[in-house]
Chain A
Amino acid sequence: MFEGLVRDSSVDGRVYTSREVFAAEIERIFARSWSYLGHLGEIPRPGDYRRVSVAGRELIFIRHRDGRPRALLNRCAHRGAQLIGKACGRARRLRCAYHGWTYGTDGALRQLPLPDGYVGEDAPRAGHPDWALDAYPVETYRDFAFVRLQTPSNPLPLEEFLGPAREALDLMADRSPSGNLSVAGEPLAIVLRCNWKVYLENLHDGVHPPAVHESSIAAARAAARVDEPPQEVQWVAANGQPLAVFGDLKVRCHPYGHSDMSGFRKEADGEDPAYRQALAEAWGAERAGQALTRNLHNACFYPGASAHPQYMQMRRLTPLAVDRMLVESWTLRAEGAPESHFRRNIRYANTIHSPSSLVKPDDAEAYRRVQRGLESFPGAVSQHRRDSALRDSGTSTALDEEYVRAQYRAWREYMTAGR
Chain B
Amino acid sequence: MIVLVEGRRVARSQLQEAERLLYRECELLNRELYEDWLALFTDDCRYWAPLSPEQEEAQLHSSLFHEDRTLMRMRITRLKHESAHSLAGGIRTSRTVGPAALREIDHASGDWVVERRFQMSERQGDRVRMFAGLFTYRLQSAERGFLIREKRVDLIDCDAPHEPLEVFF
Contacts and interface: CB of A to CB of B under 8 A. Distances in A.
B52 A355 contact: no
Interface string B34-72: 000000000000000101100100011111111010110
A277 interface: no
A366 interface: yes
Interface in B147-162: 159-162
B77 interface: yes
B74 A219 contact: yes
A185 B70 contact: no
A232 B71 contact: yes
A323 to B, nearest CB: 13
B123 interface: no
B75 interface: yes
A349 to B, nearest CB: 5
Contacts of A188: 51, 62, 64
A369 B87 CA distance: 13
Contacts of A214: 81, 83, 85
Interface string A221-233: 0110010011011
Contacts of A87: 159
B163 interface: yes
Interface stretch (A36-44, A190-198, A389-397): A190-198
Given A215-B84, A366-B85, A360 B70 contact: no
B59 A226 contact: no
B165 interface: yes
B14 interface: no
A10 interface: no
Given A215-B85, A355-B162, A366-B85, A346 B60 contact: yes
B24 interface: no
Nearest to B71: A232
B164 interface: yes
A355 B64 contact: yes
Contact of B78 (A193, A215, A354): A215
Which of A190, A219, A339, A365 has most B Cβ within 10 Å?
Answer: A219
Contact of B86 (A220, A339, A354, A364): A364
Contacts of A328: 161
A145 to B, nearest CB: 21
Contacts of A189: 160-162
Contacts of A187: 62
Nearest to B61: A185
A184 interface: yes
A364 B163 contact: yes
Given A191-B163, A226-B70, A365-B85, A219 B77 contact: yes
Contacts of A354: 62-65, 165
A369 B88 CA distance: 12
Report the interface size class on chain B. 35 or more
A219 B81 contact: yes
Contact of B74 (A186, A233, A343): A233
A354 B161 CA distance: 10
A206 B87 CA distance: 23
A358 B63 contact: no
A190 B86 CA distance: 15
B62 A331 contact: yes
A214 B78 CA distance: 9
B64 A356 contact: yes
A185 B75 CA distance: 26
Nearest to A342: B60
A370 interface: no
B69 to A, nearest CB: 10
A364 to B, nearest CB: 5
Nearest to A362: B85
Nearest to B49: A356
A233 B70 CA distance: 9
Contact of B77 (A190, A223, A232, A369): A223
Interface in B117-162: 159-162
B31 interface: no
A135 interface: no
B70 A230 contact: yes
A350 interface: yes
A200 interface: no
Interface of A: 87, 184-193, 212, 214-216, 218-220, 222-223, 226, 229-230, 232-233, 236, 326, 328-329, 331, 339, 342-343, 346-347, 349-350, 354-358, 360-362, 364-366, 369
29 contacts: A185-B51, A185-B52, A185-B62, A188-B51, A188-B64, A189-B160, A190-B163, A191-B162, A215-B85, A218-B77, A219-B77, A222-B73, A223-B71, A232-B71, A232-B74, A339-B60, A346-B59, A349-B62, A350-B66, A354-B63, A355-B162, A355-B163, A355-B165, A356-B49, A356-B166, A357-B164, A358-B74, A358-B75, A362-B84
Given A230-B70, A346-B60, 8 more contacts: A185-B52, A185-B55, A191-B163, A223-B70, A223-B73, A230-B71, A347-B66, A364-B163
Interface of B: 49, 51-52, 55, 59-66, 68, 70-71, 73-75, 77-78, 81-88, 159-166
